[in-house]
Structure 1
Amino acid sequence: SPACTSYQMTPQGHRAPPKINPDNYGMDLNSDDSTDDEAHPRKPIPTWARALQKTWYYNPPNLLELFGTILPLDLEDIFKKSKPRYHKRTSSAVWNSPPLQGTRLPSSLAYSLKKH
């Protein structure tokens, strides 16, 4: 009969169930930006964060003090080249001039402009 080694004679241990950490929200890069409903979160707010939540609700942090002034974004400076689309005016841009001639306004907006 073949000789048994101590390795073969060692009994298999039981696998312990994973420890549940109430402060572990499983946030990783694979979360796909899914968020809980703030009124009904899937996990309770950790005890250590409840006091902060109340403090920030009644005394919100001064974002200007935290982050400073946000400077305008210059795509040419970031990408070191100029492209026509960097200067294109899109719907998210600030519109300081009236729309082009021939463009159609929604009827409700056209009516409100005529009244005033």
Structure 2
Amino acid sequence: MTPHYTESSLRQPRTPHIRMPPFTGKEGWETRRALFEAIANRYGWDEEERLNQLLPRLEGAAAKFVFSQLFPHVLNHSHELLKEIDSRFRAIKTSRTFAAKFSRRSQRSGETL
């Protein structure tokens, strides 16, 4: 017996339920983006599926930024959307940020330089 396919089942990508926590803007974006990209590439998500998976997972400050500050056309292009989220939420590491971290650090007992 051959499986029966409907027209709609052929058009819809068959993505298993992916458990990814929401992105609120408080946690590190770099790791979250790498996870998203790895899963998207693994399952061969197209532009539409990437948006379908990303947009509902934005909450808190991230959702406020995306849905109230970005132009509507950006919400229809995953590459542009990810670029905007990168600009807003990625950690910028410069010599000044490293110097600031170093100045707040104290040497622990028994720790060498």
TM-score by length of 2: 0.21
TM-score by length of 1: 0.20
Which structure: larger Rg? 1
Higher relative contact order (CA 8 A, sep 6+): 2
